[in-house]
Amino acid sequence: MDEANVGNGGHAQPIPDDAVEARPAVREAMAKAGFAAVDTGDGCLAWCRTTNDGTHTMISCNNSLDGDPASADWIAGRYGDEGGFVEVNGLGLAGALDAADLLPAPVRVDGSVVEALYPSLQQALDDLA
């Protein structure tokens, strides 16, 4: 992965595979879903997957690449390359991967940019439907 735009002019730096510190189950799940490890700055790490629609999706566990896959410490978000975000927290790794596939772009039907953290995937989907 080349440098990834992470919105508002920020850029995430890719982390080489041999430098990723994560348990095998997490690494395998993230690779299978098309995510690559990035350093987003300020000591925060995330798994990132870019799209072709001006957004990207990131998943992390307490700003880290690793954590207990069953714990509800994971967060998934979809971010506009030019701003806006939709995040869901309190997820296990499987739930975060599901959310990554379902979260809408951070733009409302009227074109306004969304910046919101939701306690559940369903609440995010309902709010942005």
Which residue in the block uniquely carries the two structure tokens 């508002």? 8
> Structure tokens of 93?
């790794």
Q: Which residues of the chain have pLDDT under 50?
A: 1, 6-9
Q: Tokens 């998943």: give the residue.
A: 59
The pLDDT of residue 75: 98
- Inter-axis angle of helices 93-102 and 24-32, to 10 degrees? 10
Type of residue at 5: N
The CA-CA-CA angle for residues 18, 26, 17, to 5°, reads: 15
At residue 69, φ and ψ (nearest 5 deg) are -55, -25
Rounded-to-integer distance, Cα 111 and Cα 114, Å:
9
What does the pLDDT read at residue 12?
87
Specify the pLDDT at position 129.
83
Give the pLDDT confidence score for residue 9 in this predicted structure.
43
